[in-house]
Every structure is written in structure tokens, then in C-alpha cells.
Chains A and B, each alone.
Chain A
Amino acid sequence: MLSLLRLSSIYTRASNLTFGGGDPTMAALQNELVARGGWLTPEQYGLVYALARITPGTNMLAFCAGSAWVLKGWPGALLAVLGASVPAALAVVLLTVGYQAFRHNPHAMSAIAGTLAAAVGMMAVSAWQLARPQMRRGKPAVRAVVLVAGAAMAGFGPRVSPIVLLGLAAAIGLFWRAPEKA
């Protein structure tokens, strides 16, 4: 069972040790909560992820509030948002005060470059882990490939808002059902 202490520590680590904004953090949380912990199903993760995209404000903080609420109710949601934002906010204040000094420190910058590269790898794994449960042979795999590729390709064409895209995917899902697992 996931305790509130463990939950706070997971969100605090995932947010405050990940550079590069919200997406890599959500990928790290997916790894912790879905792949390693098994506390959330990929469908629950997908639902919270999609709703976080359509919640006003910072998507990643909405994701933290929503996923922690699913796991541990309101206390979980509050602790997750506090843990995910307070240490980073303190770092932002410190950086605001001393940004110039930090920017010209080559050691700090090359370490950060390493973490940014790792974030890219982490996001690739995240996409794979989200799609994998739907990648069953036959019709489900066709539907999965069409939707993943369609959503990814939409980013290259004329700018479609993610909200429209996710809404479209939901509408497709209402009609195009994959047979249940045998």
C-alpha cells in the first residue's frame, strides 16, 4: 500500500530532480506509479494525463493533483502539489537572485545538459509504456498505431491544439472499439 509519506516523496523527487519542464516529470511519474509501483493502471494514467492537458494553468501540477487524488484523495493531492512545487519555487527564487552567476558556470551547465538528454530518453520510454497495453495482435494494434502516429504527426502539420486532438481521440474511441482481452 502506498503511504502518504511515500507518495509525497515520489512527487517531490520526480518534479524537483527533473529539468526540462512538465513532460519529463510526468514521464518519470509514469515510470514510478504505473510501471514500477503498479498503483495506477495505464488507463488511469492516460485519463489523468489527458485531463491535465485540458485543465487551465500548469499541466504538470494539474497532473500531480489529479493522479495523487486518485491514489490518496485530497490529502494526497495537496501533498503532491506542495512537494512538486515548493522546492522548485525556492530554486526559482534563488536563481532569480543569482541567475547571471549560474549561467556562466560550465560545470553546472554540462551536468544540466546530461539531465536534459536523459529526459529525452525518459519521454521515449513513457510514450512506449503508454501505448504498450493496447498493442495486442490484430485489430487493437492497428487502432493503437493509427492513434499514436496520428497524434504525433499532427504536431508536424498546421498547429492543432492538444485539446482538440485529445477530444478527437475520445470521439474515435466511442465508435472504434477494440475487442476485450480474451
Chain B
Amino acid sequence: MNAVLLYLLLLKASCTAFNGMAAIPIVRHDLVEHRHVLTDRQLNAAVAAARTAPGPNGLWMVSAGYFVAGVPGACAGWLAAVTPAFLIVVMLRYLGARADRPAVKSAIQCVTLAAAGLVVDAAIPLARDAITGWATLAIAAGAALVLLSTRAAPVWVILAAALAGWLLA
């Protein structure tokens, strides 16, 4: 399949889903069921590769693109995953000009608070998956304590956690 067409099909999926993973059913419909250029097993491997790799899970499109069309396909997948991100600038421009009004300020404060609740929510399934025993619980608590009480950069916390995970396994 031509990389430009692949880009447009993947872009359609990434632009109509509000989360990297929500685009999967759309891509499955187009590439697996309709055009038969990707298999279900490949799609699963793509999701697994993106979950195993660091970075956003939405980059499963890179892997799916690679399965369909090799390196040009991977580039098409990457471009389709990053393109919609820039739409946020348009929204920020519009809201930024109004941010000083008291009602807007209060609305933004409330959205920030709800966002904190959503972060807790997102952490719960991750915690169920990641905290499997005393060692991982200690790593999670240790990371939180270090971040709260020192100015250590997260990158060191993550590297120390990888070392601890390896040593405590």
C-alpha cells in the first residue's frame, strides 16, 4: 500500500478518536477488514510493541504502518500519530486571551482540580497492573516520597526504579 494513502487512513483514525488507543477499532475496520493489508495478530503485536516501548501508547500506529508498508509505512504511522497534537495550539490561543476574567479563572481552577481526580483514576488500573508485591509497592512509595521531598529529576527516579526492579526480582 502507498504510504500517502496509509497516512490518510491512519490520520482519519487518529483525528476521530480522543485517545491513542480509541483509534484501534477504526484502523482495524479499514486495514484488517476492508483492505486486508494487516492481520489481527499484527495489530495486537503493534499494540504490545507500543506498550513495551517507552513513550505514548498511541505510537502503535508506527508499528502497524511498518507491518503494512515497511519503513515508509512506519513514517506514515508516526506522522499520523503526531499530526492532531498541534490542534491544541488553536484552542490555547482562543482560551489564553480570556484567562484573566474571574469566571474563566475559576472555571480553569475547577478543571485543574478535576484533572487531579482523573490522574488518580488513571493511576488505579496502572497500580493494579504494576504493583504485584512488596517490592513493587516499595518502589512506588519510594518514588513518591523522593519526588515529594527532594528536587530530584524524574529521570533519576525512573532509572533507580529500573535498577531496584532488576535487583529485587
Contacts and interface: CB of A to CB of B under 8 A. Distances in A.
A77 B123 CA distance: 27
Contacts of B163: 111, 114
A169 B48 CA distance: 34
B19 A122 contact: no
Name A's interface SS.
helix
A92 B50 contact: yes
A171 B155 CA distance: 37
Contact of B88 (A28, A31, A48, A89): A48
A113 B20 contact: no
Nearest to B75: A89
Interface string A33-65: 000100000110111111111111111111111
B56 A124 contact: no
Q: Report, as a range, how many residues of chain A touch the other chain.
A: 35 or more
Given A28-B154, A56-B16, A56-B18, A93 B109 contact: no
B62 interface: yes
Contacts, number: 395
Contact of A16 (B52, B55, B88, B145): B55
Name B's interface SS.
helix
A143 B161 CA distance: 35
Nearest to B128: A120
A96 B99 CA distance: 44
A65 to B, nearest CB: 4
Contact of B113 (A59, A147, A154, A163): A147
Contact of B116 (A43, A69, A151, A173): A151
B17 to A, nearest CB: 7
Nearest to B55: A88
A153 to B, nearest CB: 8
B98 to A, nearest CB: 11
Interface string B6-23: 000000001111111001
A79 interface: no
A74 B119 CA distance: 27
A174 B129 CA distance: 38
A91 B139 contact: no
A152 B118 contact: yes
Contacts of B97: none
3 residue pairs, one from A and one from B, having the closest CB atoms: A114-B165, A88-B55, A151-B117
